[in-house]
Structure 1
Amino acid sequence: MPKPSPYAAQLAGSGIRAIMERARRAPGPVVSLHIGEPGFPTPPHVGDAIAEAQARGETGYAPSAGLPALRDAISAKLASANDLALRSERVVVTAGGTQALHLGLTVVLRPGDDVLVPDPGWPNAGGIVRLLAARPRGYPLRKANGFLPDVDELARLVGPRTRAILVNSPANPVATVLDGPLLERLVRLAHERDLWILSDECYEAFTFDGPHVSTARADPDGRVLTCFSFSKTHGMTGLRVGYLVLPEVLAPLAVRAQEAMLACVGTPVQYGALAALTGPQDHVDRARTAYLRRRDEALELLRATAVPYAHPAGAYYLWLRVHTSDTTSFAVRLLDEQRVAVAPGRAFGDHGEGWVRLSLAAPAADLVTGIERLVAFGAEAGSSRHA
């Protein structure tokens, strides 16, 4: 029998999904703080637009790059919200932010290339790189540096095979937000070493201490590709719509690659995305306000404990320190014994070990209950180790 693809065979299962499946099988209710799922439903006007498109018979193929009206609306949004004035021809509509990243890496990577990815960082990014016969190389996000990229350290990690750098702001799982000067330094490094930058900005709507700044604002020569998503901002995770913004030289390649990869994103859901952009935005403001309130309540609770944490400046996560060298086992025991599900830090990379991720998208009462149980459980576990 022929052997399977070595690039697919090297993919590891998701540590987050493993906890998710275990939580689904658990007897009785579980306090679910492990899933990066928006805490609010899809807005009604989005669902209405999808239903109306279906009723009109808009269920055939769309252009591979996306509906022209949606691409125009995205271009207008980029100008108003991201301070990026660019033609809609540089936008490709994708099946969520995940496929946007896959498409972007597809048009810039060669077999054997290295991609510098955040560690801890979103684990799917490394999997996509591996599927493309390239190699993810983690760059550490350290507590001592506020879990922000150290540009000097990044520069030392660039080697002869390095082709691209992935940046994520607001960041999953560490909830940091990169400011303009830091992004300028990252883009300058990419320019000096002739690298591409893939900028994951899927949590752009949720910053708490300052504005979101798009990496492409610091891009003078067209080396930044940016991934956006409707999933987090508009509560549309299951509808799978995102978009990739490319330099002009790459946009035609991405359209052709999208045709080969996907043909097109579903036509009715593209009309839903159009309604999400052009319709009422109060649901986004409500979600941001709720996540901020939950963040502040959680931090007030944590300040009364000895649990270290990373200050969450954006996204909707809490990154907490736990006293263990095996966060996977810790998360399993916390679920089995306390009925609290958290994402183990090891799932996000080697430098995630010793930390766990909690979701601020969970109901406020669940968040408080989960933190209280986690703190008590951690104290008991620490006592038993030193007994």
Structure 2
Amino acid sequence: MTTTIPDSVDVVVSGAGAAGLAAARALGATGRTVLVLDRQRTPTPVAKGEILQPESVRILDEWGVLEALRATGARPVERLAIRDPHGEPLLSIDYGQLPGPYRQVLCAEYADLRNVLAGGMPGTVEILRGVRVTGALRDGAGRVSGVHTVGDGAGAGGTEIRAGLVVAADGMSSPLRKAAGVGVDRQEYPHRLLALDVEGVDVAAELAAYRTARGLCLVYPLPGNRCRLYVQVRPDEFRASGMADLNPWCDALLADVPAIAPLGSAVRASLRRRQLFAVYRLRADRLSAPGLALVGESAHAVHPMAAQGVNSSLRDAETLAGAVTSESTVDNSLEAYEADRRPRLDHIATVSHNAARMITALSGAPKLLGARMMRRTAANPRLLRQTAGNLSGTDVRPLTLVDRLYQLGLLVDRHANTPPVTATDRSEAR
């Protein structure tokens, strides 16, 4: 099959993951012609982007694809629970107490999310696979004005595609980000995560994060009577024994985390479908350059513990489309996108990193402080509500320095049990 690549469009999006498809969907809805290019002919299954926070549920609902995602068997969850190895609760965050109509997390297949985004595209959007973006085109002023591609339909020397806006949704290694000269701060966590797709189990409808001697053990439901199991491992954990036979490792895991022992046989059966990940924090110096916008992991990445990655990507797309208006030049719109999005992303990075350290620290002061902060937060209903709002994205109110002192037990919060002020209360007060 021959692919016809157009010479010019309004928008080129590099990358057809959730971030790229969301950006294409949002920008296409404004009436612009959008071309999505992805180097993979067939998407690779990957254990990521499965936890959709309430803010993402809202976005998908407003885009008209939420019911299609629910129809795939996406599992609703109303609680994030941090537990000890035996399953006893250390801290529980109840999404059901959030204000507004979106009070649930959806646990969905990443492939299903991509499919419903692609299936809900406006007619102005075209998706081409097997086409790789190799670099950025620039005009006489140095502004990004399109992309150079190779692959299906690109010809022996490749193809140039002109565009008024180029969107980099091409992952943490982002060739487009590099081509635009945007720097990045990338830091690797001192552990890895082993992801298992566990079949034939019915786990509780919660995001269960077990705080264990080996670090994080995260369990949550997936469609089709399955669950996802993430286990923290040392970078060198399999160096001596390899990964050919993980049964002894599984024996040790089940002994260390008795709460997941009922899943034992299903976990063993899932070992052949394992995925091992390095875990990074990433922050691009800028979210845009003249003619170019960064979305998703080309701009930011956080620890999976706080389940913010794909949610930030969808919000990037929504914000970018809202900023690119007919009343403003593209580059002015990109400055507005940067100004709107950067503070929120920095807040998400802080929340995610703090949440990860509380669970993944194995020794020393970080572990002791994490335990202390969990105990104090668990005993403070106000901080629990605020944490739920921050994680969900629907009621964001960053914790203050004084809040941190409450979490550490250095101050007493006299308002810990004060009922929240609702939108109705504010309206009546006016």
TM range (shorter): under 0.3
| Greater relative contact order (CA < 8 Å, ≥ 6 in sequence) | 1
The structure with the largest helix share of the pair is: 1
The structure with the largest strand share of the pair is: 2
Query: If the length of structure 1 is used for normalisation, what is the TM-score?
Result: 0.28
Query: If the length of structure 2 is used for normalisation, what is the TM-score?
Result: 0.26
Of structures 1 and 2, the larger Rg is shown by: 2
